[in-house]
Amino acid sequence: MQEALRFHLSDADPLGRAEIIEQARFARRGARTASRGLSLTIRDLRKSFGDNEVLRGIDLHISAGQFVAIVGRSGCGKSTLLRLIAGLDTATAGSIDFGEEARAEDIRVMFQEPRLLPWARVLSNVEVGLGRERASADAQARAESALVEVGLGEKRGQWPAVLSGGQRQRVALARALVSRPRVLAFDEPLGALDALTRISMQRLLERVWHDQGFTAILVTHDVSEAVALADRVLVIEDGVIAHDIDVDIPRPRRRGSAQLAALEGSILKNLLQGTEDASDL
């Protein structure tokens, strides 16, 4: 019984201990180190699929190293915006400018599904993330250190099939991190995880973002996740940015604090305003 309990928690981090470690980490590092992230300027971005105009003119500036969350109802265009930023789709009109010349390795995406190669061991899955630098001599060492960073160093030789859902998503995170990207786009990366694993993954995301200083763009349908992680929350409605909210709560943030709850409540109210029937959500 004791063993079973410990096993369960090791996957989803015991909350108390993690929180203390987290606070110590922030205290030790003090203010955030100079950001390596890229800034992002989007002007009048539009995207249509046939007659259906999904994005109707997005104007947005994200400063380097900021953690931005994008929330909205399903079908509002938030994932489309993320795919455009990540270069997975081309816009119908408008522009996205990264401030300086961005290489392919500078912008990485993490999806809801881990998308690991089932026939490659964990370490070679992470090596995939190196892109064109895969052939370099230190490729393996870099992949290993990325795995250690997400706490899966000892799983390097496993097949993805034997990992839990949370562990697979951590491998996917290591793969996205290994090229040291300057913009990391998350498309509901925690959507398929259970509540405990989700919280430990949120901590991990916040930590790597803090350590590596990339610009983070997180698409999520979970408003509490958005306010817990982001510096700024964008609410998208009908293909435009309806609200742009600064989350001015110091880190590390305590989950379930009154401040976060109040902010979450007001954003949810904004989201609900569009409809007469609140039970729709």
Q: How far apart are CA 264 and CA 254, in angstroms?
A: 14
Helix (H, G, I), strand (E, B) or coil at 234: strand
Strands (E), 12-171: 40-49, 52-62, 67-71, 93-97, 107-110
Q: How far is the CB of 46 from other proteins (least distance, A)?
A: 23
Q: Which is nearer to other proteins, 13 or 127 (CB)?
A: 127
Q: Which is nearer to other proteins, 15 or 120 (CB)?
A: 120
Q: Name the site residues for other proteins (rule: CB under 8 A).
A: 86, 88, 104-105, 108-109, 111, 113, 115, 117-121, 128-129, 131-132, 159-162, 175
The length of the chain is 281
Instruction: For residue 236, list its beta bridge partners.
Output: 241
Q: Which is nearer to other proteins, 109 or 271 (CB)?
A: 109
Q: How far is the CB of 170 from other proteins (least distance, A)?
A: 16
Q: How far is the CB of 254 from other proteins (least distance, A)?
A: 35
Q: How far is the CB of 35 from other proteins (least distance, A)?
A: 23
Q: Which is nearer to other proteins, 32 or 132 (CB)?
A: 132
Q: How far is the CB of 155 from other proteins (least distance, A)?
A: 14
Q: Which is nearer to other proteins, 19 or 113 (CB)?
A: 113
Q: How far is the CB of 178 from other proteins (least distance, A)?
A: 10
Q: Are 281 and 73 in contact (CB under 8 A)?
A: yes
Q: Which is nearer to other proteins, 53 or 133 (CB)?
A: 133
- Give whole-number Cα distances, 61 to 42, 43, 130, in Å: 6, 9, 28
DSSP type of residue 194: -
Task: Give me the phi and psi of 176, to 5 degrees please.
Answer: -70, -30
Q: Are 145 and 156 in contact (CB under 8 A)?
A: no
The number of beta carbons lying within 10 Å of the beta carbon of residue 63 is 16
* Contact partners, residue 175, CB within 8 Å, separation at least 6: 116, 125, 126, 128, 129, 146
